[in-house]
């Protein structure tokens, strides 16, 4: 219209200052701490929400799409300091919730593969960016150079502390280095990304076990703060007769040996016990050590295994069998060598506390399976005693150990979990320590809102099939057991896969104050994503509940976009006659307070 109308957004703005601003009118960037914005981000960007480290996934996938691999790497690194590593072995909580993986939307975006891609393809000219704070003159000791320890050390160094890491093993990396087989995680990569951390003047003392070589108390005196991040190292025992026999390996030790290049005896027939990643790693390693008949044996049923389908498939592909609903009761041996293992059958039962479904042994259901070796991969527990005997009650949230100035992070606090959680824990711990030493918070998380106008992607991208990961074939796998099985995406593959991301960080909103309810948007919606609603409940925590829909014309208060179903196709945008639909880019960012 030739003149700005009484209903034009700008005018609304001027008309009434204390009125609500429509997102469309937000020209400058907005930082919000409103619970509704945090809630919106949480429901809108499921991948980021699922990630313990809150990685800005749509953000870095967009960068990959723009072939800015360096920037993509930085976005990752700002949330987790080992992108290349996580890009290979992350447990991928994000992909389970990816909107693209919902029924009828196809398969989830290969978020993890893409993460790996930024590490693989970042240009030689790539530089790492660290927003360094002025030195504080204070010193912090970190015990354990595993994911949690490294993460804490890094952030503390950035915050201006002098950091020393004490590591009992010969190499840093902890589980990464000794728990995960090389065919899944190349060693040079681990070292490279660890060195990127150490470069910030962090001092690394290897072969130094706190507790035996140097005492925690001493550290407590010498340093302003101490982080205990020794992880979970003491193996959970089988606790059945015969476990002391030769050729009964514990998963972690077994992997350690394999990773140190040794060849522990496995024989022809191998029985692996356990349902996690380690169990599968052990089994696959056993295959590579020449075992002919390898089986993974689990107490519950297959669906309770804590591994993702690709792992399952690779294992099956390598000929590994899975036997379920059995638990070992006795290991049988002849002159101290394993000859077989006795199992009890189990059945599933319900309990009222997590994990809700458990397996219980069935009496007199024993049966015997002959085998040459047994690998018990039952996970590990933190060895608190080993570090110090004075710990009194861990405060998991606050990372407090009970001893002033001594903090804890990672598996040591949470018990055996996954790498990304450990990293998230380490970083959080660093923040706690900073607040403790400085006396106030120096950083805060806010929602960054920016007007965006376009959808950034054509509808056709929604129909691209997930790009599979390239792998080497069986011969090569057995030829050299350390050959990395997955070989990564090519530049083109990465670009193709990056197109698939819906960019859920873009928020679409209808302004009911300008809407005439003509339902043009609903008409073109590809999903049940735009709704005629009567109300939207606000939860006690300040976030929104589910829209209350209605078909009664006289009850329709607004036509609203359901962020949880919206696949960001932008059809609505193109048809709205009143231009009352806005796109806003939402990001979780850290700003200095």
Partner 1 sequence: MKDIDIVIEICGSAGEGTISAGEILSRFMSGQGFEIMSFDSYPAEIRGFGKCVAHTRISSNPIYSPGKLADVLISLNDNHAISQLPTLKESGILIYDSQPARPHEEDKSVAGRTKPGMISYGIPLNMLAHKAAGNARGMNMVALGALSALFHVDKDRFTDSIKARYGKKKQVVIDANVNSFLEGYDWAKENIKKSDPYSFEGVNLPEQKEKLIVNGNQLVAQAALDANLMFYAGYPITPATKIMEILSKELPKHGGTLLQTEDEIAAIGAVIGAGFGGKRAMTATSGPGFALMTEFTGLSVMAEVPAVIIDSQRAGPSTGMPTKTEQSDFNSAVMGGTGDCPRIVLAPADTKSCYEATVLALYFAEKYQTLVVVLLDFFLSNSIKNIDVPKKPAKKYRIANIAPKKEDLKDYKRYKITKSGISPRAVPGTPGGIFFSTGLEHNEYGRPDYSQAGHLKMTQKRYDKFNAVLVEAPAPEISAMGRGKVDIGVISWGSSAGAAREAVMAAQKEGIKAASFSSMMVSPFPEKALIKFADNCRKILIPELNFSGQFADFATCILKRPVEKLNFITGRPMASEDILQKMREM
Partner 2 sequence: MMSFNDHYVIIGNGPAGNHAAKTLRKKDKGARITIISDEMIPYYYKPKLTGFIADEIAQKDLLVTSLESYKEKDIRVRLGQAVEQIDPDSKSLVLKHMETIKYSKLIIATGSRERLLPFMSGYADHLKFITSYTDVMDYKEKIQNAKEFFIFGGDLVGFKFLKMLNSMGKKVTILIYPNAFWPYNLTEDMLDQIFTSLSQFDVSIIIKDDISTIDKKDNGSYRIKTLKGVEKTVDMVFSFNGLVPDIDFVKGSGIDTDYGILVNEYLKTNIDGIYACGSCAQIYNPDMKSYSASIGWPNAVVQGEVAAYNLLGDHKVIESVGRKYFDLEGVKIKTTWWGDINDASQE
Partner 3 sequence: MEEIRSAYLDETLDTVRAADFLQYRSKDLPTWCPGCGYFGIVDALYRACRELDLKQENIVTVSGIGCSGRTPIFINTYGFHTLHGRSIPVATGLKLAREDLTVFAVAGDGDALGIGGGHLPHVARKNINITFLLFDNSIYGLTKGQSSSTTPHEMKTSSHPAGNPDTPLNPIRLALAYGASFVARGYAGDPQGLKDIIKNGILYQGFSFIQILTPCVTFDKENRTWKNLKENVVDLTPRMEEKNMETAMRLAQNEPHGVGIFFWDKKRPHYQEILRNLNKGN
Min dist. Cβ of residue 95 to partner 1 (A):
22
Using only C-alpha atoms, the chain has a radius of gyration, in whole angstroms, of 27
Q: Give the H or E element holding residue 578.
A: none
Here the tokens at position 42 are 């949480």
Stretch that binds partner 2, among 22-30, 69-77, 311-319, 404-412 (CB under 8 A): 311-319
Site string for partner 3, 509-538 (x = CB under 8 A): x-xxx--xxxxxxxxx-------x--xx-x
Min dist. Cβ of residue 46 to partner 2 (A):
17
Answer yes or no whether residue 437 interacts with partner 3 by CB under 8 A: no
Quick one: 304 or 517, whose CB is closer to partner 3?
517
User: How many Å from the N-terminal Cα to the C-terminal Cα in the chain?
Assistant: 44
Task: Report the 3 state secondary structure along 38-106.
Answer: HHHHHHHCHHHHHCCCCCCHHHHHHHHHCCCHHHHHHHHHCCCCCHHHHHHHCCCHHHHHCHHHCCCCC
Min dist. Cβ of residue 62 to partner 1 (A):
21
The dihedral sign for the CA sequence 76, 67, 448, 44: negative
Quick one: 373 or 571, whose CB is closer to partner 1?
571
Give the one residue of 437, 443, 575, 587 binding partner 3; rule: CB under 8 A.
575
With CB under 5 to 8 Å by kind, the binding choice for 526 among partner 2, partner 3, partner 1, none is partner 1
Give the one residue of 460, 475, 541, 592 binding partner 1; rule: CB under 8 A.
460
Q: Which residues pair with 341 in a beta bridge?
A: 331, 369
Min dist. Cβ of residue 505 to partner 3 (A):
14
With CB under 5 to 8 Å by kind, the binding choice for 460 among partner 2, partner 3, partner 1, none is partner 1
With CB under 5 to 8 Å by kind, the binding choice for 459 among partner 2, partner 3, partner 1, none is partner 1
Residue with tokens 């049966």: 367
Here the tokens at position 333 are 């041996």
Site string for partner 1, 552-571 (x = CB under 8 A): -------------------x
CB 330 within 8 A of CB 240: yes
Which residues are CB-neighbours of 467 under 8 A, at least 6 positions away? Answer: 110, 113, 489, 493, 496, 497
Answer yes or no whether residue 370 interacts with partner 2 by CB under 8 A: no
> Quick one: 559 exposed, middle or buried, by C-beta within 10 A (0-12, 13-18, 19+)?
buried
* Residue count (the chain): 593
The CA-CA-CA angle for residues 61, 64, 65, to 5°, reads: 90
CA–CA distance, 125 with 255 (Å, rounded to integer): 36
Q: How many Cβ atoms from other residues are within 10 Å of residue 237's Cβ?
A: 11
CB 422 within 8 A of CB 147: yes
Quick one: 320 or 521, whose CB is closer to partner 1?
521
Quick one: 218 or 316, whose CB is closer to partner 2?
316
CB 523 within 8 A of CB 121: no
Give the one residue of 213, 528, 535, 579 binding partner 1; rule: CB under 8 A.
528
Site for partner 3 in 7-26 (CB under 8 A): 7, 20-23, 26
Min dist. Cβ of residue 322 to partner 2 (A):
8
Min dist. Cβ of residue 341 to partner 2 (A):
13
Q: Which residues bind partner 2 (CB under 8 A)?
A: 103, 301-303, 313, 316-317, 319, 321, 323-326, 345, 347-348, 350, 357, 362-365
Q: Which residues bind partner 3 (CB under 8 A)?
A: 1-3, 5-7, 20-23, 26, 28, 30-32, 34, 36-37, 449, 509, 511-513, 516-524, 532, 535-536, 538, 544, 551-558, 560, 575, 577-578, 584
Q: Which residues bind partner 1 (CB under 8 A)?
A: 104, 458-460, 462-463, 524-528, 571
């Amino acid at each position: 219209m030739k003149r700005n109308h009484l209903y034009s957004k700008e005018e609304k703005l001027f008309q009434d200052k204390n009125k609500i601003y429509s997102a469309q009118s937000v020209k400058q960037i907005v930082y919000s701490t409103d619970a509704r914005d945090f809630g919106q981000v949480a429901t809108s960007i499921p991948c980021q929400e699922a990630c313990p480290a809150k990685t800005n996934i749509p953000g870095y996938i967009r960068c990959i799409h723009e072939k800015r691999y360096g920037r993509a790497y930085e976005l990752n690194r700002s949330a987790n300091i080992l992108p290349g590593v996580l890009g290979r072995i992350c447990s991928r909580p994000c992909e389970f919730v990816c909107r693209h993986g919902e029924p009828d939307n196809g398969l989830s975006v290969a978020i993890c593969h893409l993460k790996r891609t930024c590490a693989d393809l970042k240009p030689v000219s790539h530089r790492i960016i660290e927003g360094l704070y002025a030195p504080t003159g204070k010193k912090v000791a970190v015990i354990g150079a595993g994911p949690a320890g490294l993460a804490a050390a890094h952030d503390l160094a950035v915050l201006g502390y002098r950091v020393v890491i004490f590591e009992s093993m010969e190499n840093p990396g902890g589980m990464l280095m000794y728990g995960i087989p090389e065919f899944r995680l190349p060693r040079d990569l681990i070292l490279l990304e660890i060195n990127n951390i150490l470069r910030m003047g962090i001092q690394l003392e290897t072969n130094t076990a706190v507790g035996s070589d140097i005492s925690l108390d001493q550290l407590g005196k010498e340093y302003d703060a101490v982080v205990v991040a020794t992880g979970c190292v003491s193996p959970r025992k089988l606790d059945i007769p015969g476990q002391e026999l030769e050729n009964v390996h514990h998963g972690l030790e077994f992997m350690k040996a394999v990773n140190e290049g040794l060849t522990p005896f496995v024989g022809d027939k191998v029985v692996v016990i356990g349902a996690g990643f380690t169990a599968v790693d052990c089994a696959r390693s056993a295959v590579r050590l020449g075992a002919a008949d390898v089986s993974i044996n689990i107490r519950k049923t297959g669906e309770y295994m804590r591994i993702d389908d690709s792992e399952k498939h690779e294992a099956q592909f390598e000929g590994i069998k899975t036997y379920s609903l059995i638990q070992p009761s006795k290991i049988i041996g002849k002159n101290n060598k394993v000859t077989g293992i006795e199992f009890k059958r189990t059945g599933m039962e319900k309990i009222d506390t997590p994990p809700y479904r458990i397996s219980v042994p069935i009496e007199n259901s024993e049966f015997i399976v002959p085998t040459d070796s047994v690998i018990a991969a039952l996970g590990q527990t933190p060895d608190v005693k080993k570090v110090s005997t004075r710990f009194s009650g861990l405060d998991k949230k606050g990372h407090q150990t009970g001893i002033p100035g001594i903090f804890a992070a990672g598996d040591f606090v949470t018990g055996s979990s996954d790498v990304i959680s450990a990293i998230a824990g380490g970083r959080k711990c660093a923040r706690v320590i900073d607040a403790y030493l400085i006396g106030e918070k120096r950083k805060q998380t806010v929602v960054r809102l920016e007007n965006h106008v376009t959808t950034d992607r054509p509808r056709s991208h929604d129909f691209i099939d997930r790009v599979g990961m390239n792998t080497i074939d069986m011969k090569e796998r057995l030829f050299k057991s350390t050959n990395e099985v997955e070989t990564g995406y090519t530049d083109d593959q990465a670009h193709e896969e990056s197109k698939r991301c819906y960019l859920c960080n873009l928020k679409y909103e209808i302004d009911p104050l300008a809407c005439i309810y003509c339902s043009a948007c609903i008409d073109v919606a590809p999903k049940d994503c735009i709704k005629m609603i009567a109300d939207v409940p606000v939860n006690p925590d300040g976030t929104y509940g589910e829209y209350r829909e209605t078909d009664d014309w006289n009850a329709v208060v607004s036509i609203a976009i359901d962020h949880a179903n919206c696949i960001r196709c932008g059809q609505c945008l193109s048809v709205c006659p009143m231009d009352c639909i806005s796109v806003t880019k939402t990001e979780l960012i850290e700003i200095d307070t």
